[in-house]
Copies of this chain bind each other. A is one copy, B any other.
Amino acid sequence: MATISDVAELAGVSKATVSRVIRGKTRVSDTIASRVRKAMEALHFQPNALAQALATSRSGGIGMVINELSSPYYGLLMCGVERAIEPRGMHLVVASTHADGERERDAVEFLGQRRCDGLVLHTNALSDTELVEICAHSLPLVIVNRRVPGLEACCVYSDDRLGARLATQHLIDVGHRRIACITGPLHLHQSRQRLSGYQAVLRRAGLPMDRSLVVESTFTVEGGYASALALLRDVKDVTAIFSQNDQMALGVFNACNDLGLDVPEDISVVGFDDIDWARYLHPRLSTVRQHVEEMGFAAGSLLMGKLLQNDADRPTSKAGHRLQPSLVVRDSVRRLT
């Protein structure tokens, strides 16, 4: 593969001049410039970005660590980040961790070694203190979908408690009183936040906090199915279920179907996330929309701001960001009385 020296030789100029026409910042006489360009063509010259990065110590890469490549959630998140960084000429280097703590650590290290210019982190297993540590000894970074105490300015997250409150309040508003909640794994911050929002609304409404109304599940269709089956069998008088994500809500649909219960006639269901096919279910799923792509975009923008600031000490708003989820009312909730 041709190098800058080959081009210089063929064009009869110095490497420095070739470099100048590559970068296009400093002026080069037109005759020489075109000669150089011709030589580049002839040799199929492609500048070596690695060498450039080494020389300038800016790689143009933004590292992103996520759980799964094959999940609509992370797809949207990546999209959002990409949309924010692409106009600044940066690109994405992704590392997936399958939510494994060891792999999360490895990923951060890996992207660091690759000298990314910045990091967007979505981690589950890493503890707050670990994250603080990483933030201190690593690249400029933004933490997404999580609020880490002490790192607020680096965090972009969705207000899960608020989302859960919206969902629960909606059910109460239309007359439900026995409202169950199917949660995600409770070791996840998100699940606990959503549970807390649900409980807060019940409490404020003066409704009894029946422990049997809360069942922990797995954020999958199968999980939702099994949990709903158990719930509807064991607990009496449930008229509504708040499912902490849409996949589980779909499981609830299927469970109701198998039990001969109609949604929303017999059981009302509210989901969480508003994944792309929520609107296509029968009945169309009422849910809480998380602005996932927006979150990615905000994270990317925040990071870009930090980088600019580092470069130029230009004053930039560097505050973290909390996004507001919103209720999407469709057809899976029935008005009581």
Determine whether the beta carbon of B113 is less than 8 Å from that of A49. yes
The contact string, 1 if C-beta is below 8 Å from chain B, for chain A 57-74, is 001000000001111101
Interface of A is mostly: helix
> A109–B49 Cα gap in the complex (Å)?
11
Determine whether the beta carbon of B96 is less than 8 Å from that of A49. no
> A132–B194 Cα gap in the complex (Å)?
53
Q: Quick one: which of B70, B78, B115, B257 contacts A49, CB cutoff 8 A?
A: B115
Report how many residues on chain A are interfacial, defined by Cβ distance under 8 Å. Answer: 42
Residue of B nearest to A73 (CB): B70
The reply on A7 being an interface residue by CB < 8 A is no
Determine whether the beta carbon of B79 is less than 8 Å from that of A75. no
The reply on A51 being an interface residue by CB < 8 A is yes
A327 CB → nearest B CB, Å: 22
Of A40-48, A147-155, A174-182, A298-306, which stretch is located at the interface? A40-48
Determine whether the beta carbon of A72 is less than 8 Å from that of B69. no
Nearest 9 interchain pairs by C-beta: A70-B75, A69-B78, A70-B79, A49-B113, A49-B114, A70-B76, A50-B53, A50-B54, A69-B79
23 contacts between A and B (CB under 8 A): A46-B112, A47-B113, A49-B114, A49-B115, A50-B54, A50-B59, A50-B115, A68-B79, A69-B78, A69-B79, A69-B82, A70-B76, A70-B78, A72-B72, A75-B75, A82-B96, A91-B95, A91-B110, A92-B94, A221-B277, A221-B280, A250-B277, A257-B282
Besides A71-B75, A75-B75, A92-B94, 4 other CB < 8 A contacts? A49-B113, A50-B50, A51-B54, A91-B95
